[in-house]
Amino acid sequence: MSDSCAHCGDPLPDGATACPACGNDPRRRARIVGVAALLVGIPVFFVMPPVAVILWVVGPFALVGSWFLSAATHDF
């Protein structure tokens, strides 16, 4: 069974995490968001500590959650 890209609809190779046609790569995007949240939390901590704590909770969730994402459309 082959999946198609959720972004452009092109067929994806088996096991692909990113679309070769349009570059749709939700795992990479989620990892970038996670790392950004962790890094941004450092200066934010000195201004708004509660916001930094939220970022440090959301960041790891985005990093871990990125492993469950796929470039393909989901059939639940």
Chain positions contacting Zn ion, by CB under 5 A: 5, 7-8, 10, 19, 21-22, 24
The alpha helices in 23-76, defined as continuous H runs, are 26-47, 49-65
Measured from the CB of residue 8, what is the shortest distance to Zn ion in angstroms?
A: 3
Under 8 Å CB-to-CB from 37, ≥6 apart: which residues? Answer: 55, 56, 58, 59, 62
Minimum distance from residue 50 beta carbon to Zn ion (Å): 39
In the complex, minimum distance from the CB of residue 3 to Zn ion, in angstroms, rounded to a whole number: 11
